[in-house]
Amino acid sequence: MDWARTFEEKRARYERTLVLQGNAAYAAGLALLMADDPRAGKWLRRASARWRDSWDAGAPPDAWGRPIGALKASLLAGDDEAVRELADWTLGLGAVDAPSPVGRYAATLALLALARMDQAAELAESLRAADGFPRDVADALLANARGDADAWAAAIASVVRSFETREEFLEDVPVADTALVLAELARRCGLVAALPASRVLPAAAAAV
């Protein structure tokens, strides 16, 4: 019996299970968020915890979707303590110097969450030039970092439109969660007023 190989197989299975649990909890939280249901925070925090656990269980070093998902879920849950901890953790993983745009996206979200605007703007600029990274998301990140409300509003409108053309969503829940996260970051920075999710994404609210 190759016990080392058996361990790796079971560890990988455990990691995948945690990711799936995070996905399901996040989708449940988004549905409740769109319904303005106070139970949303509980499910979003659950998703964040599962994705963080999946990284700790031995995710590949370039699996930046896990820190991104954990941070996004905590932002939408309004869990300030978890947001600060996850932002510090994400930066500590080396996201700022990640070779992939997704890694630098994780870093930019973390920097905005910590109100480190100059560094966030620098990374957002690099994302605008990155092949394959959504230009409108990078534009929204940059506008947030620079405090440009007009540019931010235009970029967010584009992000929402791009989601409306999609045919596939996480767990089949049609919500432009990236736009919601960007709106929450802008609110935290004082760029926009707080709005219920159903008002940020009225079309998606009707679909959920």
Q: In this model, does residue 128 exceed pLDDT 60?
A: yes
Backbone angles phi, psi at 195, to 5 degrees: -135, 145
Q: Where are the domains of the chain?
A: 3-207
pLDDT at 203: 40
Q: Residue 160 — very low, low, confident or very high, per pLDDT cuts 50/70/90?
A: very high
Which residue pairs, CB below 8 angstroms and at least 24 apart, start in 166-171?
A: 170/23, 170/26, 170/27, 171/23, 171/24, 171/26, 171/27
pLDDT one-digit tens code per residue, 34-73: 999 999 999 999 999 999 999 999 999 999 999 999 999 9
Half-sphere exposure of 208 (CA within 13 A, CB side): 26
Q: In this model, does residue 206 exceed pLDDT 80?
A: no
pLDDT at 200: 58
**Separation of alpha carbons 202 and 193, rounded Å:** 16
For the chain, the average pLDDT equals: 92
Share of the chain above pLDDT 90, in %: 85
Q: Which CATH number fits domain 3-207: 1.10.287, 2.40.128, 1.25.40, 1.20.120?
A: 1.25.40
Q: Residue 167 — very low, low, confident or very high, per pLDDT cuts 50/70/90?
A: confident
Residue type at position 134: P
Q: Contact 85/75 with Cβ under 8 angstroms?
A: no
Residue at token pair 């769109």: 34
pLDDT one-digit tens code per residue, 73-123: 999 999 999 999 999 999 999 999 999 999 999 999 999 999 999 999 999
